[in-house]
Structure 1
């Protein structure tokens, strides 16, 4: 299905059983909660999806399962995080074959590619697939920045459509809009900068805490889109302590604990990750408990009259 590259797109967690196999039953519970809340797409196999621990077969199962669950209500996007160009092309081929609607792509993993190498990497994958691509630009965590000059070259390919903007520089939203207009859609990739990015013109939000709080996340997006800025800010201010759980090395464990608290996940992670223990666990649980105690009553954000 066609992707509009706007709105809230959860970077969903991968659910595991106690036996370290895919927990597709709980996975479906969470995906259905996202759809019910009104998200605009589902993103699989990102950092929150523990992509580096998944086998190719597990990734394919997740794509096929999600496509079956959502039944064309929203697009299904799979992240590509590969070490080689050959591997990335093959991953794109499998995604298309399995029914994915689009790709999110990181630069080459492990090897710190130069600008020319990074551009050619993305170009080769774009040439190999019909699927639309969102480039994940996160130099803070992945040490390679896709600059505006690099995007200038990449946008020669019609299927490079969007950027997951995670540079942590809000002014980059304006730079992208000034340079490319609507040719390059912008989705904020940092939960704690999401509303600020949307207000500066970002088209959407690749979200993390949405995995546990889907309705609140979508409400913020829909309210700001409708010009209800005061209402959006009120929810966002309540949300911020929870959103800060996403900008942490243990973001997967943090968010999975939040999913448990809201009844749409388990805290099982795949080793070498381990569930939180001790003071670290207590600190995260306190943030979650405080959030639940003060959880706001949401307006009817799905109502078309909101506009």
Structure 2
């Protein structure tokens, strides 16, 4: 769709932490400026990769406030406003709107929340009343709720419901969502070029934290339908993007960003940094990306 508000690469930016586990806002600003200089067109603040579930409500709001001020209209802003209580989601969404976010990304109700379609529809209808475009989040392996093509059609009838981010990791099921003709965003790093070829409307990509130049080049090639070029670029990204999807996702993104020069410190507890052996496996999977990103 030509009027889709979040096309191309939307970076699920890692939240930087200092040695004491506090948010490092100085590094946050430096990293945003570096990504903007490369041409990143969209950011997801307080993303899953940015450890949303391990941030307090106040910290998440402050990330949105400061991030929006830094970006200052130079890129699109999506804020994750997921929470256990619907009222909290609405409050966070209104806060994001007040600080200039262009949209919000919201998990369906999780941890023993409703799993029937009616309950999911009622939840997103309530969130959508807060006034920003809403990106639903399909990650059934984590929350136990799957967005099917029929449910997506009903969701997209809700005013302000914009699209769904599919992080299921199942290309066949994502393609079925795309075949509805409705906007679908890919959120599975290992599927990026295949999802673009299948016709996804945009990307929310955590792995782009450590390889922004190469990821942007891939998206540009795919947008121009230069599929041979896209496949060549993907050959450099594929080993590490596939490795991320095998487990320890957030920890691996943080470690890889340190190796390529886009460091955000270590992930916050209870997550632990990767072991030395795992870092060497990650380094090998990065291959020449370190040189490409220099």
**TM-score normalised by length of structure 1:** 0.88
Aligned residue in 2 for 1:301: none
* Deviations 1:24-49, CA, capped at 9 Å, x for gaps: 11112221222122222100122211
Inter-partner Cα distance in structure 1 for 2:274 and 2:293: 27
Pairwise CA distance, 1:112:
4.1
Greater than 6 Å deviation, 4+ residue runs:
none
Pairwise CA distance, 1:272:
0.7
* Deviations 1:236-293, CA, capped at 9 Å, x for gaps: 01111111243143111111111112222133221111111242233223323x2346
Residues 152-161 or 168-177, more deviating: 168-177
Structure 2 matches for 1:142-221, cutoff 5 A? 142-179=143-180, 181=181, 184-221=182-219
Q: Is the 8 A contact 1:173 1:201 kept in 2?
A: no
Q: How many matched pairs?
A: 291
**Unaligned regions of 5+ residues in structure 2, if any?**
none
Q: Is the 8 A contact 1:16 1:270 kept in 2?
A: yes
Of the three residues 121, 136, 155, the one matched with 2:123 is: 121
- Return closer, same or farther for 1:286/1:138 CA change in 2, 3 Å cut-off: same
Aligned residue in 2 for 1:300: none
Q: Is the 8 A contact 1:80 1:92 kept in 2?
A: yes
CA-atom RMSD in angstroms: 2.0
Aligned residue in 2 for 1:53: 54
Q: Is the 8 A contact 1:9 1:39 kept in 2?
A: yes
Structure 2 matches for 1:23-172, cutoff 5 A? 23-115=24-116, 116-127=118-129, 129-172=130-173
Aligned residue in 1 for 2:245: 247
Aligned residue in 1 for 2:270: 272
Inter-partner Cα distance in structure 2 for 1:294 and 1:39: 19
Inter-partner Cα distance in structure 1 for 2:284 and 2:81: 34
Inter-partner Cα distance in structure 1 for 2:85 and 2:57: 15
Q: Is the 8 A contact 1:253 1:276 kept in 2?
A: yes
- Return closer, same or farther for 1:150/1:95 CA change in 2, 3 Å cut-off: same
Q: Is the 8 A contact 1:29 1:264 kept in 2?
A: no
**Unaligned regions of 5+ residues in structure 1, if any?**
298-307
Inter-partner Cα distance in structure 2 for 1:278 and 1:268: 14
